[in-house]
Structure 1
Amino acid sequence: MIVRDFILWFENAPAGARADGARVLARAWLDGRLDEAGRVEAEQVFFSLLDDPSPLARQALAETFAGAAKAPPALIAALACDQTNVSALVLARSPLLSDAQLIDCAAIGDSCAQAAIALRATLSPAVSAALAEIAAREALVVLAVNEGANLPEFAMRRMIERFWNDGELREALLGRAWLPATVRAALVAATARQLTDLAVERNWMERARGERIAQDSRDRAAMIIAAGCADYSNEIAALAAYLRVSGQLTAGLALRALLCGQTSLFEATLSELTGMGPRRIAGLVADPASSGFAAVYARAGMPESLFRAFQFALTALARLPHEKTEDGALRLPVIQAVLRQCEVSGDENLSSLVALLRRFEADATREAGRRVIERRKSETAPAPRPVQQPVAPALAAPILAAPILAPASAASETAPPVVAGPPVAEPAPAPTVETAKSSVEISIDLGALEKELIAA
């Protein structure tokens, strides 16, 4: 009877009152305050509100039923396809929507509806991948910062591929708790590409030089990423596969991997290029002078002119102590050992290789110098000096009028300290002041002190 009276009142009520009435009726339905007949009539009212000319009533229903697990499923499905201010409430919270429904709503919704889906507390890999493929930029930024979203590796790479020049999206992805090695490499490549385009457009450098710098940056980043992975893990293999697909897997990168001591990345590179198993590759790489290594090198399609460089690098790595650096830096002893081997061989065909090695040597020397300087700075860093309080302008006149030589007995424990300013070009010989607690002589430059007090 109450629901029937509500229906009669509802027909002529204003939009705001209808919204309030719908909210009260929905709460009564959820709380179980209606009998079975009343619940059926109330559901009929809810579905009739879907055709209401004002969205306020539907928005009231969405606010009430959004997080309810016992809401009418058909009503939730209808509200999820409504206009954004109604559907976003349901899309972000309702537990009754399946993955297929969420994907369908993302396909037909605007960026706000897609962002509401991306904000859900948990997202399956299927929904995350669908958003990565079709969602707008704003929704992808929300998806990237949502740690509850199960984002597959290929979905993150697709997001970067679609919006590679969007710094906000790249920053959001970098803020995630864990990123696969392939995604980090894709982020580096996108950043290098954008910076290169910017430098060329503003005539800061030529295209060829910009692309050379970008390639060096990508190669260095690949070494750093590989250094953070376990030795010949699935992540290293996936990184090699990504580098090949993206066109970054070059002979120069493979040689840099050895010169950095990243033998696992080199082995993964050969495995990716030849299709051979990792154990077999590791056995062949362990004996670089064998015909088996020469065969697998040729099968990988590596340039013949660099074959001896790879042999020399593997031999040097076997003789030198194993060092795995977290920063993936070039190892100067390995480079110098390869250069010595090239000079001893006397082969004139290695001139281009020697030029490449010299460039690597310069980079390694520069990085080593930077590390030494930073270490020296940290070792010899002076203790922090106490902050000196500036002299107030009101004290300037008394201090200037005070005698230069103050007797030790006249020194007050509460007197403000005298701060010496920077020395002038030709300072006049200044007298000394003996303190009561120390025999240290303090030289006071009156000209510099006066300038400092006036400036204060």
Structure 2
Amino acid sequence: MTVAQFRSPPMASPPAYPDLLALARNPSADSRERLLLGVVALCDARPPTGELSPVLGEIFLTLARQAERDVRKILSERLATADWAPPALINVLALDEIEIARPVLAASPILQDDDLMRVLVEATLEHQIEIARRPQLGGRVADAIIERGEPATLTALAFNRTAEISLDGIRRLVEQSRRVAALRGPLTRHPRLTAQLAEQMYEWVGVALRQSICARFDVDERKLAPAITQAVYDARSQTMVPVSTSDPDRDEMERRLVAKLQAAGQLRAGYLVRAVRERRLGLFVHALATLGGFTVSEVREALASKSPEALFYACASVGVDRAVYPALLAEIRILNDGFPGDVGDRVWLRGAISPASAARSFRALVRTEARAV
């Protein structure tokens, strides 16, 4: 039996309760269809306020437990906002498969915190996400979601502006955003985010979200960005392993591959972009060094720099278009723990530069940084 078969006009008046109970106990397909039409008529007419008739409650429960999937789905949709629906029935529907459970999880006023906590424990991830999206979600349930630490559910909760999330809950979400990138966008716009927590997030979010934080909390980006970048750089430099040197065999293999491409006349600037998109940063290092006549150490120095300026000059010297550089830089940062950093001007916006000038600027910068170290 399909949903399309149930698109009959509602009955003019609801059938009598005994008739519906008899239909509920009859397993035939014809009785199921007539029972559904009767229940729909009752939903449309709305029963009297107050305690629901035990007979009607039994009808609903029998239908939910024995009916086909399509019947349960329609029943869930019709009862999603009903404040008179039997609690036992709503809880049965809430634990059903997600397409059936979704309407009541999203809107049923019958479901209490204890009911939602049970669904969090017993049901699927999709059920948990739907609970996290629920309007006016209680603080106890929000805390339980945060405690579980499931990225998809945390993200759904961060998007829920009406959920009762405590200041400590927001703090924990901010901390989770270190590892769950999807949390960062909604948290920067969350009404409960404080300036102090926003400044903490500033360390690990991207450029666009940093601008959003600065605009919302009146933060002086020129002062905050260099300080945070310097702190991250200092911490990282204590334990940083130079790019590709952690696996000498792989490093040698990549060096030989680049040398072979160079000998065959096949090494071009476009290969740098390809290497990064294939997540082969070591290959990018050797290719850039070979194309530009730089040492591998110089290229690695540029990749570990607090500023993207040196890397830009190296790329420009071998023919990488300055319009391509921002996207290339973003992908390199993903592969390289966020480096090069954000300190300094965006020199690629200044205009064209000749390959020779770019090469001179690159060497001057890496030598300056080497002396500073």
TM-score range, shorter chain: 0.3 to 0.5
CA radius of gyration, larger in: 1
TM, length-normalised to structure 1: 0.40
TM, length-normalised to structure 2: 0.47
